[in-house]
Chains A and B, each alone.
Chain A
Amino acid sequence: MKPKSLVNIGDYNRTDILRILDNAAQFKANPNRNLLEHRVCATLFFEPSTRTRLSFETAVNRLRGRIIGFSDAATSSSSKGESLKDTIMMAANYADIVVMRHHLEGSARYASEISPVPIVNAGDGANQHPTQTLLDMFSIYETQGTLENLTITIVGDLKYGRAVHSLIEGMADFRPTFNFVAPDELKIPEKYKSFCDEKGIAYREFTEFSPEAINSADILYMTRVQRERFTDLMEYEKVKNIYILHNDMLKNSKPTLRVLHPLPRVKEINQDVDDNPKAYYFQQAKNGMFVRQAVICDLLEIEVNEVTEVKKLRKE
């Protein structure tokens, strides 16, 4: 059965993921459609996240849907002490679908259990942000032509990075090989290593950002090493410049390599990489909009192909 809401990337199986990515490709070819005409989407951002909210709202706007909601809990009744349940029930009275971001972990799962309309999790604390994973996977699919048998080098904060953990889970059924590049303090947690072992996924760990890790990769996934993650600031000072990608480090990389980053970036990708055709992080962020169009239509059971076909017929 197709999931009713998107809370966790693990709720989507291989078929679901491929269906979303194929539909996202159709939206990328033609993002402006009438598919959400007469539909209302609530964007409930209990925690501000401008980038994610704009991406969702543009996705809906380009499909002619209408948007209600708030961009900060301070302007909603939760500041008066209203429970999450009541806020969700109210929004579900008015909207056909609810996109929510919340600082509490598990909030989206709970909302999906009480809401009569589909919920899209746009981030619940440190837990899940599944449309980020889908847009990462779409960018991989698009640039490599496949999701199968790719070598993905992930660099930076592998301990706390939510995007990293979800990417590992999302790619699990596509036989990836991972290179994990991180300082000791931010190493990939044991639970993801045992996850890889259970799934038969090959991986190597590096503490150095070595040419080997870059040159063997199809995808170089960079993340931010945040100062506040370190218990020992001396350690941070030691490693803060090690995990920075400079353009010359890409000179022996595969011609098909693409560099991704969930953004915002700070210093971990030097600006001299931006003009390299292998840099793909800005397009990756843009892909988020197409993926979100695909997710929203999928949850509302709007057939993307069918409508396109009707349009074609009309033209003829």
Chain B
Amino acid sequence: MRKELQVAALENGTAIDHIPSDKVFDVVSLLQLDRLSNPITIGGNLESKKMGTKGIIKIANKFFEEEEINRIALVAPNVNLNIIRDYEVAEKKDVTLPDTIIDIVKCNNPKCITNNEPMKTRFHVIDKEKVELQCHYCEIKIGKENIVLK
């Protein structure tokens, strides 16, 4: 018997699975999915053996640049990202944090120049495992739990 899918299958595109339930909309925002006109399915609070509940996002006919998908690592480093072609998984990708993150994260220091000047933020990833960032400008360090997206 065919296993029932919780979210409809994708012919071509990108499927992001095992997103922590509370991070689904962060991923939406990181990938700027609200700006796309492609068909998008977003599933939240779905049953998961591994995680209890999880989120899934499927974007039809869209293949992201490496730099774009690596942003996801900021909020959900353990997602499964599958490239689907003709209903088959053509490629599996891991998301890994880049060394520098430009204009995605907001600096938590209200006295940082980036919060007071129309300019891009820039963070150095100083610990990829713990997800610790350092502002290139005011030099403040930000831990994973304190990361705020722009």
B-binding residues in A (CB < 8 A): 8, 83-85, 102-107, 109-110, 124-128, 191
Contact = CB atoms under 8 A, between A and B. Distances in A.
A8 B112 CA distance: 15
A267 B112 CA distance: 32
Interface string B99-115: 00000000001011110
Interface stretch (B49-57, B58-66, B73-81, B130-138): B130-138
A265 to B, nearest CB: 26
B105 to A, nearest CB: 14
Nearest to A84: B117
A110 B119 contact: yes
Contact of B139 (A83, A103, A106): A106
B119 A107 contact: no
Given A104-B112, A110-B119, 18 more contacts: A8-B139, A84-B113, A104-B111, A105-B109, A105-B111, A105-B138, A105-B139, A105-B140, A106-B114, A106-B137, A106-B139, A107-B117, A109-B113, A109-B136, A110-B113, A110-B114, A110-B117, A191-B141
In this complex, the interface size class of chain B, counting residues with CB under 8 Å from chain A, is 10 to 19
Contacts of A124: 113, 138
The 10 A-B residue pairs with the shortest CB-CB distance, nearest first, are A106-B137, A105-B138, A106-B138, A106-B113, A107-B113, A104-B113, A109-B137, A110-B113, A105-B111, A125-B111
B118 interface: yes
B116 interface: yes
Contacts of A104: 111-113, 116-117, 138
Contacts of B135: 106
A126 B119 contact: no
Contacts of B111: 103-105, 125-126
Nearest to B141: A191
B118 A110 contact: no
Nearest to A102: B113
A3 B114 CA distance: 23
Given A110-B137, A125-B138, A105 B117 contact: no
A12 to B, nearest CB: 16
A83 B118 contact: yes
A128 B113 CA distance: 13
